[in-house]
Structure 1
Amino acid sequence: MFFENMPTWQKLLWIVFVLGIFWMLEGYYALVKFRYHKWKHARTNFILLGFVMLINLIFGIITGGIFLWLDDSNFGLLQLFDLPIWIELIMAIFVLDLIAQYFVHYLLHKVKWMWRLHLIHHTDTHVDATTGTRHHPFDFIIRESFALIAVIIMGMPVAYYLFYRILSIFFTYFTHANIRLPKGLDKILSYVIVTPNMHKFHHHYQLPWTDSNYGNMLSIWDRIFGTFSYDDTKKIRYGIDIVEDDTSDKIGFQLGIPFNRSIKTKN
């Protein structure tokens, strides 16, 4: 498959392309008319992205080793059946979306030490496409570890995993983008996939919305497990109620949040 041989520069180009498209769309079809310095805000999130990309290089080596082992061992659920490629691919995407996105995201909100790492993603007071890159490096390590667990359980080939990553990048920027879809269209799409409006409730500054809509690509997990929310987006206020709004773009403060005991978490 093409994705199995996709060079790193093409993956990076895909990130830049998708982020750039939604960055531009925000200027014409904004959901919220922010009064902020867009580039200054983006700088904080891009610095965090830089840390994540460095860690990704290390995980790339680990991931490569796991796929070599899977090729030799024939380990995993997909090795037990002789199924058409398209069915295997759909199964792989479903399992990755459930374990590496919904489930780990749920844990990041419910386990105290994980929540402290994940807080950085929620302290953004101007949610836009760049917010999708806003993760503490240790938060990213946890997410990638769960993705590898899903890979091992399924015993999937690297091509399936890379295809999932490409889809995941698109949805990450799509759901965080400050774009306004027609309300009817957004609501209809939310029955199957995570939409911009749907995910924005997750970035509301208070419970219970903060602890809802954990999905990344498929909205079915939130519907199945009772964590789905949908309301009027005008009620949303971004940020998190346990961290001061004016610290949102202070990179040093943000990186120190997990270790800042003056910040009292809900857990």
Structure 2
Amino acid sequence: MSQSKIKTIIVDDEPLARAGLRIRLEKFDDVEVVVECQNGLDAVSMISQHRPDLVFLDIQMPGLNGFQVINKLKELKQPIPMIIFVTAYDSYAIKAFDVHALDYLLKPADDERLSTAISKVREYFSTQNQDEQSRKLVNLVAELTGDDCEEILRKLANGEAVETNPYPDVLAIKDGSEVTRVNVADIQWIDAAGDYMCVHALDGMHIMRKTMKELEQELNPQLFVRVHRSAIANIRYVKKLVSHISGEYHLILSNDTELKVSRSHRDKVKAAMKM
């Protein structure tokens, strides 16, 4: 590494995401962005050509994803620079450690989190102690998974997946070039509108393109219960279950939203409410 500059490459298929990160990096006098790449293939080529010290690498990209970029560099016997993975998905954060990433950022990256990541990069280059850095990463993963360090090392060495909580704390909802992170705990209910899901949260409604079945599998079944074919409710926001003379049941949420409970889901809803 140059004594004064950390030579850096930004890799992301979204132009606005690249621009936003580049602007944020301008405040760091010792970080020099030498090139930007819009896909994994370009990244492999530019990393081989420029030999950067640091790469901000998006994981979800068409063609080669972020992990495949690392594997391709290894195949080509190219030096692997320090990697900070950039992702909209919490589940990818743990997987980043499989290729010894220094750190990761969740989109959209905030200034404080970025400053912390750059500080870690500086510390790494000042000590050049890769073994110690790897040990810190292993310890962090152990804290997140509950496994001991030796078990994590064994899994990494054998290429096994490091398991984490299967139910995310945050839903990353993509709308064009923007990604909104919605706290799962803030979601009150979800209903279907054609090919889209309307996610009703405390901060308003968000639209995401996903099937009801896919979304149901991502959410903790102890908190989220399917009430009928096109709706899921967060049981924490249910105020009461009302039965009508017609035999129909309705859930009343804390904000007075009323959701019909279908006959096929009635027993599951009652069980969720401990009735």
TM-score relative to the length of structure 1: 0.28
Q: In terms of Rg, which structure is larger?
A: 2
**RCO (CA 8 Å, sep 6+): is it higher in 1 or 2?**
1
TM-score relative to the length of structure 2: 0.28
Structure with bigger helix share is 1
Structure with bigger strand share is 2
